[in-house]
């Protein structure tokens, strides 16, 4: 079956512009995560959606960052007034929910490389 998909693959924007990054999770996966990977760094958690629960926004670095998810499908990460330090690869992952006591593997998309000039 199809994996997690993300679009666009690459995005180049000018400082101060807004950008939207899209994630299509695996069908049936109720959990969705956004991570950021700066050059030469590991992945940093940004935000987590689980079903209809309030999202965990604890990783968002500033109020310029926001994300939405429509039900258990597509999610959009929006960065307003982009800055050069926002340049990174943004990765999305999704997982099924087998329950609290069970391991739920996260499956990653290929990421969107954002370059802010």
Partner 1 sequence: AQTVTQSQPEMSVQEAETVTLSCTYDTSENNYYLFWYKQPPSRQMILVIRQEAYKQQNATENRFSVNFQKAAKSFSLKISDSQLGDTAMYFCAFMKHVGNEKLTFGTGTRLTIIP
For binding to partner 1 (CB under 8 A), which residues are involved? 31, 33, 35, 40-45, 48, 50, 56, 59, 89, 91, 93, 95, 97-106, 108, 110-111, 113
Token pair for 99: 């329950």
Residue 60 token pair: 């968002």
Q: Shortest approach of partner 1 to residue 81 CB, angstroms?
A: 26
Cβ atoms of residues 34 and 92 within 8 Å: yes
CB of 33 to partner 1, least distance (A): 6
Comparison of 16 and 53: residue with beta carbon closer to partner 1: 53
Looking at the DSSP assignment, which residues form a beta bridge with residue 50?
31
Nearer to partner 1, 30 or 80 (CB): 30
In contact, 6 and 93? CB cutoff 8 Å: no
The nearer residue to partner 1, 41 or 115, going by C-beta atoms, is 41
Q: Are 8 and 76 in contact (CB under 8 A)?
A: no
Spatial contact of 37 and 43, defined as CB atoms under 8 Å apart:
yes
- How far apart, in whole angstroms, are the C-alpha atoms of residue 89 and residue 110? 9
For the CB of residue 31, give the shortest distance to partner 1 in the complex, in Å: 4
Least distance between partner 1 and beta carbon 60 (Å): 12
Measured from the CB atom, is 50 or 76 closer to partner 1?
50
């Amino acid at each position: 079956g199809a994996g997690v998909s993300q679009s666009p693959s690459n995005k180049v924007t000018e400082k101060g512009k807004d950008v939207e990054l899209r994630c299509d999770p695996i069908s049936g996966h109720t959990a969705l995560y956004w991570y950021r990977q700066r050059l030469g760094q590991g992945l940093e958690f940004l935000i987590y959606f689980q079903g209809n629960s309030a999202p965990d926004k604890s990783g968002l670095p500033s109020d310029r960052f926001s994300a939405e998810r429509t039900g258990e499908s597509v999610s959009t990460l929006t960065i307003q007034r982009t800055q050069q330090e926002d340049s990174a690869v943004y990765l999305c992952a999704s997982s099924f929910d087998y329950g609290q006591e069970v391991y739920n593997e996260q499956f990653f998309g290929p990421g969107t490389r954002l370059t802010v000039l």
